């Protein structure tokens, strides 16, 4: 049994008992071959819930600080995140975006599942923000289909992305997957910025319909900076 299988066997039942997650449309995820899961990002535990509700292992980029802690909590986080598929990348440097993109490309070229939050950061207020075009570059470079998904209710379970998750009435989680999106019509156009924006906006439109969130055509990082 791999560490991923062990973690799912250990924590999967606990997740179902505490939060009774509804998982809708999981059959849209291909059983084999490369696929990109692209969704909204409400709170920290999104990246804990997603790997536990998908049969295939989901690889995703995470901050390297999640795996460098020396305390017991830090070590447990590192054990969990690296076990479920997180690949630590230093995204703060000037080359962080390129490193993340190349890592995602490698995962997909190996025929695996790559998860990404196109907003680039957690939503500051529960609304859905403009997607960054890395998602478009990945699907056009690799030919991998994009399965949009929506996290619903995780922000009520862990408001503000901090502290222990809360349980109780009104805190049920839903993870909803849409049908795969094929962008092969844009083959060879991964350097066209208009195509990249069109593909990204189409993905975000599907995420919006799945989540029911209000859409804001501004980058979440800009909204956070202006609110600071």
Mean pLDDT of the chain: 89
Q: Per-residue pLDDT averaged across 39-43, rounded?
A: 96
- pLDDT at residue number 94: 54
Calculate the CA 69 to chain-centre distance: 22
> Where residue 37 falls among pLDDT bands split at 50, 70, 90?
very high
Half-sphere exposure of 2 (CA within 13 A, CB side): 10
Most confident of 29-38, 49-58, 70-79: 29-38
Q: Per-residue pLDDT averaged across 3-7, rounded?
A: 86
End-to-end, the C-alpha distance of the chain in Å comes to 46
**What value does the CA radius of gyration of the chain take, rounded to a whole number of Å?**
17
Q: What angle do CA 75, 81, 87 make, to 5 degrees?
A: 115
32 token code pair:
């084999």
Q: Count the neighbouring beta carbons within 10 Å of the beta carbon of residue 95.
A: 11
Measured in degrees and rounded to the nearest 5, phi and psi for residue 196 equal -60, -40
Q: Per-residue pLDDT averaged across 41-49, rounded?
A: 91
d(CA 218, CA 226): 11
- pLDDT at residue number 67: 75
Q: What is the pLDDT of residues 103-156, one digit of tens each?
A: 999 999 999 999 999 999 999 999 999 999 999 999 999 999 999 999 999 998
Q: What is the pLDDT of residues 152-193, one digit of tens each?
A: 999 988 887 676 777 766 678 999 999 999 999 999 999 999
Q: What is the pLDDT of residues 93-104, one digit of tens each?
A: 556 678 888 999
- pLDDT at residue number 2: 85
| Residue 61 or 189, more confident | 189
> Where residue 64 falls among pLDDT bands split at 50, 70, 90?
confident
Q: Per-residue pLDDT averaged across 28-33, rounded?
A: 97
């Amino acid at each position: 049994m791999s560490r991923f299988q062990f973690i799912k066997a250990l924590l999967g039942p606990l997740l179902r008992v505490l939060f009774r997650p509804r998982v809708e449309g999981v059959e849209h995820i291909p059983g084999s071959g490369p696929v990109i899961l692209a969704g909204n990002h409400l709170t920290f535990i999104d990246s804990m819930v997603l790997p536990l509700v998908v049969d295939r292992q989901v690889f995703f980029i995470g901050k390297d600080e999640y795996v460098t802690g020396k305390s017991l909590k830090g070590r447990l986080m590192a054990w969990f995140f690296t076990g479920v598929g997180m690949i630590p990348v230093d995204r703060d440097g000037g080359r962080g975006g390129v490193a993340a993109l190349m890592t995602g490309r490698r995962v997909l070229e190996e025929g695996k599942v790559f998860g990404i939050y196109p907003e680039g950061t957690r939503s500051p207020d529960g609304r859905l923000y403009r997607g960054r075009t890395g998602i478009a570059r990945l699907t056009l470079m690799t030919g991998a289909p994009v399965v949009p998904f929506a996290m619903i209710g995780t922000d009520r379970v862990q408001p503000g992305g901090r502290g222990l998750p809360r349980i109780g009435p009104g805190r049920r989680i839903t993870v909803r997957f849409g049908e795969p999106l094929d962008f092969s019509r844009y083959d060879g156009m991964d350097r066209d910025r208009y195509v990249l924006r069109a593909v990204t906006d189409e993905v975000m439109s599907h995420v919006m319909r799945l989540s029911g969130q209000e859409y804001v055509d501004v980058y979440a990082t800009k909204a956070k900076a202006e609110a600071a």
